[in-house]
């Protein structure tokens, strides 16, 4: 199976910082991170644990004064998926994980069938090399062949750095929190947040591994959802200063099952 790849260059753009005000009850972890109920509700809604109908039927989305049953159920679902103590409470362990930067894909994603193309020109050398390593990892465990093409050629997969609102309905949030997102087959778009501190080499404590995140997002482009195993490439959360450049057995089993390949 041959797939063309087009990498896009990050343009130099300036953006104003968005200030998020979170109110009402909050919890603080050992590192001093706090989270209010408004922020929790928004987070669970963004990543697919609260749907539109449940959010509308619960107390006001932006001014809930206390946990309701809908929010508690959603929080328990999140805690169960990520192997936390299923308390239904906003404890410090849950705050720790929610505060960790992650992939922007929700719990369940669908193909939006979008036709818009990334707006920025070709990507720098580091992105090209990181993408090559990411494609090689998936090619080794499948029968897929990936081929990079020049910017003027049509491509099945489009990879680019983007910033803030970039026209796909899922704006980035600046440094931290959401690092990247991608779209399910056969859309082919893979976006990395240009405001993050990326490293093609093993990252320092304040950097994120570009190869790891590109490999993860390519998994979404190929159709995989998140893994609940913290050692898997397809686990939703990525730690600063950490590196991961090998597929987990769960990643391999997932892609082989999805495309009905021999184990």
Tell whether 263 is covered by a domain.
no
Tell whether 29 is covered by a domain.
no
- Domain range for 182 is 2-10+107-258
Note whether 210 and 126 are within 8 A (CB): yes
The mean per-residue pLDDT over the stretch 1-24 comes to 35
When pLDDT is cut at 50, 70 and 90, the band that residue 31 belongs to is low
Determine if residue 168 is labeled as part of a ligand binding site: yes
Tell whether 24 is covered by a domain.
no
Which residue did the predictor score with more confidence, 2 or 84? Answer: 84
Give the pairing type, strands 145-148 and 2-8: parallel
Tell whether 17 is covered by a domain.
no
Determine if residue 173 is labeled as part of a ligand binding site: yes
Same domain, 153 and 92: no
Give the whole-number percent of the chain exceeding pLDDT 70: 71
| pLDDT for res 82 | 81
Same domain, 138 and 115: yes
Q: Which of 68, 98, 128 is the last residue of a domain?
A: 98
Q: Phi-psi bin for 177: left (phi > 0), alpha (psi -120 to 50), beta?
A: left
| pLDDT for res 33 | 59
| pLDDT for res 1 | 56
Determine if residue 248 is labeled as part of a ligand binding site: no
Tell whether 225 is covered by a domain.
yes
CA distance 263 to 259: 11
Tell whether 161 is covered by a domain.
yes
The pLDDT tens digits of the residues spanning 185-239 come to 989 999 999 888 888 888 889 889 999 999 999 999 999 999 999 999 999 999 9
Same domain, 85 and 215: no
Give the whole-number percent of the chain exceeding pLDDT 90: 27
Determine if residue 129 is labeled as part of a ligand binding site: no
The mean per-residue pLDDT over the stretch 95-108 comes to 71
Same domain, 254 and 135: yes
Determine if residue 181 is labeled as part of a ligand binding site: yes
Q: Which two tokens stand for residue 64?
A: 């809930």
Angstrom CA distances, 239 to 169, 211, 244, stand at 26, 13, 10
The mean per-residue pLDDT over the stretch 127-138 comes to 90
> Using alpha carbons only, how large is the chain's radius of gyration in Å?
19
Count: domains in the chain: 2
Same domain, 169 and 67: no
Residue 255 burial (10 A CB sphere; 0-12, 13-18, 19+): buried
CA within 13 Å, CB half, 76: 10
Tell whether 175 is covered by a domain.
yes
When pLDDT is cut at 50, 70 and 90, the band that residue 22 belongs to is very low
Active site residues: 217
The pLDDT tens digits of the residues spanning 41-94 come to 878 877 777 765 444 444 444 444 456 777 788 888 888 878 888 888 878 888
């Amino acid at each position: 199976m041959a797939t063309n790849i087009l990498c896009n260059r990050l343009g130099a753009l300036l953006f104003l910082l968005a200030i998020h005000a979170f109110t009402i009850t909050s919890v603080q972890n050992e590192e001093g991170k706090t989270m209010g109920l408004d922020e929790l509700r928004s987070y669970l809604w963004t990543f697919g644990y609260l749907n539109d109908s449940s959010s509308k039927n619960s107390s006001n989305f932006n001014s809930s004064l206390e946990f309701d049953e809908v929010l508690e159920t959603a929080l328990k679902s999140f805690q169960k998926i990520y192997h936390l103590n299923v308390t239904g409470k906003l404890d410090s362990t849950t705050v720790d994980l929610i505060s960790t930067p992650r992939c922007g894909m929700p719990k369940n994603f669908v193909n939006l069938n979008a036709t818009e193309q990334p707006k920025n020109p070709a990507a720098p050398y580091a992105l090209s090399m990181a993408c090559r390593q990411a494609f090689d990892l998936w090619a080794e465990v499948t029968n897929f062949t990936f081929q990079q093409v020049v910017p003027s050629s049509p491509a099945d997969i489009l990879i680019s750095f983007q910033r803030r609102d970039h026209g796909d309905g899922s704006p980035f949030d600046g440094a931290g929190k959401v690092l990247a997102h991608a779209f399910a087959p056969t859309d082919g778009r893979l976006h990395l947040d240009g405001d993050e501190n990326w490293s093609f080499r093993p990252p320092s404590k304040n950097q994120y591994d570009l190869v790891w995140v590109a490999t993860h997002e390519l998994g979404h482009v190929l159709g995989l959802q998140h893994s609940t195993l913290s050692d898997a490439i397809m686990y939703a959360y990525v730690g600063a200063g950490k590196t991961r450049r090998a597929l987990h057995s769960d990643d391999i089993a997932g892609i082989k099952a999805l495309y009905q390949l021999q184990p």
